Structure 1
Amino acid sequence: MEVLKKGKGQPEESVKCAQQHLANERTYLAWIRTAISIIGVGFLTTSLHFTIKISSIPTINILAILLGIIACVVGFIIGVLSTIQYTRKRREIQEGLFIPSNHSILFVSILFSLLVFLIFMYLSFLLFK
């Protein structure tokens, strides 16, 4: 583990590198909070659906269960991808590189869109049953 120290030779470089590492950590924690929130929405939706017995129609019940499962899977994938991105960015900062992460952002956006679509389907089935 490399410790950054403010020395006489490169104080600005050291501080800049430390700021980049701290920004990387903040980004990682934001992604983890997002993953936890998505998992929470899945649990909340499924548990509320069955606790207050919103509907007894099998299609809506299956959709509620599917919504909860997919939310947990999406949250887990976001957690794993954010950890991979954090370690990759950490290495890039140490090497002085910057490589944008287009593929993982696109993948997470697709997963999130799928989840929003399922929520929309669930709500539309409930409202127009």
Structure 2
Amino acid sequence: MIKSILIAIICLGVLFSVQTVFAEEELPLPEGKNIKEWESISAALVAEKRFSEAIIYLDKILEQEPDNLKALTNKAGLLAQLGNYSKSLSLSNKVLEIDPNRLSALTNKAIALKMLNEYEKSFEVLQKY
């Protein structure tokens, strides 16, 4: 009986692994031709929690418009989601140099600082609200 249960668990694990691989293969990344399309594609990928892929499209936007605050802020947030807090902090600071009151950039900065164990600095950023 225990052997049958173990075999069933292993089979289910293999089945789910195979489905995950097929799901990724079935979803090729769309091309997009301009900033508006890249923004839409990026947003759709974020909704699917495909953060690394969403960053690809934000980078395309930033190639065309390096100071695009929306793309910079969104990329900073996604990098934080992926655990790259130092880069998130750097991008948030870049945004805040241009727009010191941008709420989403302040939020991203506070989160990055907190995750980098800079609690006092994070609190100072939050006090700006």
Q: Same fold (TM over 0.5)?
A: no
Give the TM-score of the pair, scaled to structure 2: 0.31
Q: Which has the higher helix share?
A: 1
Compare CA radii of gyration and give the structure with the larger one.
Answer: 1
